[in-house]
Chains A and B, each alone.
Chain A
Amino acid sequence: MFKSKINVIVLAILVLLGINYASRYLFLRFDLTENNEFTLSKASKDILTNLDDAVEVTAYFSDDLPVDITKVREELENLLNEFSSIAKGKFSYKFIAPNKDAQKEEEATKEGIRPVMINVREKDQSKQQKAFLGAVIKAGDKKETIPIIQPGTAMEYAFATGIKKLVGKNKPLIGFIQGHGEPPIQELAQAYQELSILYNISSAYINTDTVDLSAFKTLILVRPTDSIPPPDLQRLDQFLSKGGNLILAINQVDANIQYGMANPMNTGLKEWLLTKGLEIEDALVRDTRCGQVNVQQQQGFFSFSSPVQFPYLPLIQKFPNHPITKGLEQVMLEFASPLNFKNAAGIQFVPFLYTSEASARENAPLRFDVQRQWTSADFPEKNICVGAVLEGNLVGNQSSKLIVFGDGDFAINGRDQRRQNADNINLLVNSIDYLSDDTGLIDLRTKSVETRPIEELSDSKRSSLKYLNFLLPMGLVVAYGIFRSSQNRRIRMTRMEMRVK
């Protein structure tokens, strides 16, 4: 009997092993996260269901790689599998392992995929190995290369936008206005890269009548430094009156951190905006949530630079529920001016960018000192608006949209191609998408694992929460123990008493 039992159990264990092995290929997943972080977004699904021509993905992935990279491959396989089941026959994929075969390796390199070197351990020695981790998307005679595949949502975004780039027809035209000291498009490289997926981008010169502005879906005016002549403003009015959309990112106050000075600028936009009911103040906001600047300090013989909180670089972390700011975590502005809406008939004002709970405005011209010691009395105001949408009959009777930012610099990389915070770029690109796009990729771009910050608590509340959570569960256990033992003693006592009786 015992023998047969052992047989049954060995069999049972083998069956379990088999089931586990099979479950690698046949499994169900349920995404329980609140934002469905691990589920395909609607935008990808839309792109895939609307494919007209066949799209083929060739993934070049080396074999025999360490487990963490094999995991990326698995993830990619799942993603492509899901893609092909959604696209219903219009999407196919294959995997090629280039490391076995010199010819395939050459093919991969020709497609624009460069090998990366990774560390592997072989026969107790760590060595470098060449690995291919890229993919090529092909549709008809066009192709798009993804040189290195990143895990996570970046993967979905890379493939969805790659496909979109290939199959996208009639991309809308957007224009960056030039001719008044604005940075050329090259100085907005990060934004350009994001925007080129969905749009044709060109410079827009509004100082001549020869350019037909109505071809542009959206015009963007970033940080003009010269004054804008009245005929140009009239052309903008005409553009708006025909239903065009406009984005303004303006430095109303010109601040120079070297000299510690900030003076109002006169570009003519202030007066122009007043006709739409919006006032951009000759002032700067200060915020307790802010970026840092490096300050040189001298101490005896030593001079060192240390970061100092600088309230004129407001750090915006709380966003209202608006398509433009959806999914953003943190945007840093550099010297922003407050916006005020004076009621205007037929125009709707929707602010979407605010300073924090403790902030202030300071009228220009002003001087500032990076070393100044701030107190909470310096920040009496809260939620000062620094970015908003105006919608409605801005000019004439045609409805149009105008987005105004009280800061001109937040998305500019500049001549030295300084990297901007990704969400700064997302803010500009999202607002362009909001005005010009209907594909829904706006959601996918910022669909990353969202951080969920906890509230700022006072020190006393924080430590009481700490010790409450640390001690309370243990206290409950002890209390239950005492209760139970006294209960037991009582039962024992009553029994003893009964025996005595």
Chain B
Amino acid sequence: MNNPVWIIAKKELNSFFDSLTAYILLIAFLGFSGFFTWITGSDIFMRKEADLEVFFSVSKWTLFFFIPAITMKMLAEENKSGTIELLLTKAITARQIILGKFLACFLLIGVALLFTVSYYITVSQIGNIDHGATLCGYLGLLLMSAAYIGIGMFASSITNNQIVAFLLALLIGVFFHFIFDMMSYNSGGFVAQLLSGLSVNRHFESLSQGVLDTKDILFFASLTITGLLLSEVFISKRIK
């Protein structure tokens, strides 16, 4: 495969795994998720229910912090070192760069979630797990991650400081993650409808219950695409 998107994705993935980044983040993610799913709090043996709801609600939060940490350097680093100009003078478009980097982040999240398959296997061994609903929950996590990667890429595209990119991604994310949701409870009518329609929480909840709804898929897809489109604008603007 010599598609530039794939080449960039592969290069990024390799650099994740050749540095400590990927390992630290994977272990942090698996550590947090595993700890709260199996060891403490309202863990699986405490709830005595054969589902992965605990895992989903924990990883909703871990991914929320985990994703800005992997997207922050994506474009900001290239901006800072000026390699972005170098890349763009090659026969690669800004869109290909962004898609390649998006794909790399998305695959890394995919790998992280793949490591939790042991949770799924264990629970389905000790109880009658609802396979459809659980798969739908994983799909929800993936879609939500895609949306947060989109936001993170955007944050990374407008600055050449990684810390700023990280904080900005969290700041934007926080609104979608819960502030819109909370605000919607305190307002009424059309505003409340709009705000609750923008809440990641709402859309994720309905997916993790096991209902595949085009509304939710469209929402996450739109958030992802908007983030990526905006980062493309800012990257293109830089080399102008």
Contact = CB atoms under 8 A, between A and B. Distances in A.
A27 B215 contact: yes
A422 interface: no
Interface of B: 17-18, 23, 26-27, 30-31, 34-35, 37-39, 43-45, 48-51, 115-116, 118-119, 122-123, 126-133, 135-136, 184-186, 188-189, 192-193, 196-197, 209-215, 218-219, 222, 225-226, 229-230, 232-233, 236-237, 240
A488 B135 CA distance: 36
A6 B133 CA distance: 40
A31 interface: yes
Nearest to A16: B222
Contacts of A452: 49-51, 127-130
B23 A481 contact: yes
A68 B202 CA distance: 11
A20 B184 CA distance: 18
Contacts of A484: 17-18
A28 interface: yes
Contacts of A477: 23, 26-27, 30, 115
A31 B185 contact: no
Contacts of B196: 67
Nearest to A477: B26
A273 interface: no
A418 B37 CA distance: 38
A13 B226 contact: yes
A345 interface: no
B50 A453 contact: yes
A241 to B, nearest CB: 43
B230 A454 contact: no
Nearest to B237: A2
Contacts of A471: 34
The 8 closest A-B pairs by CB, nearest first: A32-B132, A454-B127, A33-B210, A473-B115, A470-B34, A16-B222, A30-B212, A452-B50
Interface of A: 2, 5-6, 9, 12-13, 16-17, 19-20, 23-24, 27-35, 37-38, 63-68, 70, 120-122, 451-455, 457, 462, 465-474, 476-478, 481, 484, 488
B240 A120 contact: no
B70 to A, nearest CB: 15
Contacts of B31: 474
A472 B114 CA distance: 13
B18 A473 contact: no
Contacts of B17: 481, 484
A455 to B, nearest CB: 5
B192 A70 contact: yes
20 contacts: A12-B229, A19-B218, A19-B222, A20-B197, A20-B215, A30-B212, A31-B210, A31-B212, A33-B132, A66-B185, A452-B127, A454-B123, A454-B127, A457-B45, A462-B45, A466-B39, A466-B45, A469-B122, A474-B26, A477-B30
Contacts of A488: 18
Contact of A34 (B132, B215, B240): B132
A2 B236 contact: yes
Given A19-B218, A70-B192, 6 more contacts: A12-B225, A16-B226, A34-B132, A37-B210, A67-B185, A452-B127
A501 B39 CA distance: 55
Given A23-B218, A65-B188, A452-B51, A9 B233 contact: yes
A453 B49 contact: yes
A94 B161 CA distance: 56
Q: Which of A23, A68, A462, A488 has the most CB of B within 10 A?
A: A23
B186 A5 contact: no
Given A34-B131, A470-B35, A121 B186 contact: yes
B153 to A, nearest CB: 14
B133 to A, nearest CB: 5
Contacts of A465: 38, 122, 126
Q: Which of B43, B193, B222 has the most CB of A within 10 A?
A: B222
Nearest to B229: A9
Contact of A469 (B34, B185, B188, B233): B34
A29 B214 contact: yes
B183 to A, nearest CB: 10
Given A12-B229, A34-B133, A481-B23, A473 B34 contact: yes
A465 B180 CA distance: 38
A478 B192 contact: no
A232 to B, nearest CB: 45
A405 B218 CA distance: 53
Nearest to B186: A121
A126 B131 CA distance: 43
Contact of A24 (B44, B197, B226): B197
A13 B184 CA distance: 23
Contacts of A481: 17, 23
A408 B7 CA distance: 74
Nearest to B94: A5
A229 B127 CA distance: 50
A478 B226 contact: no
B189 to A, nearest CB: 6
A33 B116 contact: no
B117 to A, nearest CB: 9
Q: Which of B115, B128, B210, B218 has the most CB of A within 10 A?
A: B210
Contacts of B189: 63-64
B24 to A, nearest CB: 10
Given A65-B188, A452-B51, A28 B213 contact: yes
Contact of B118 (A24, A64, A462, A472): A472
A27 B233 CA distance: 31
A211 B130 CA distance: 51
B50 A454 contact: yes
Contacts of A19: 218, 222
B210 to A, nearest CB: 4
Contacts of B237: 2
Contacts of A122: 188
Contacts of B186: 121
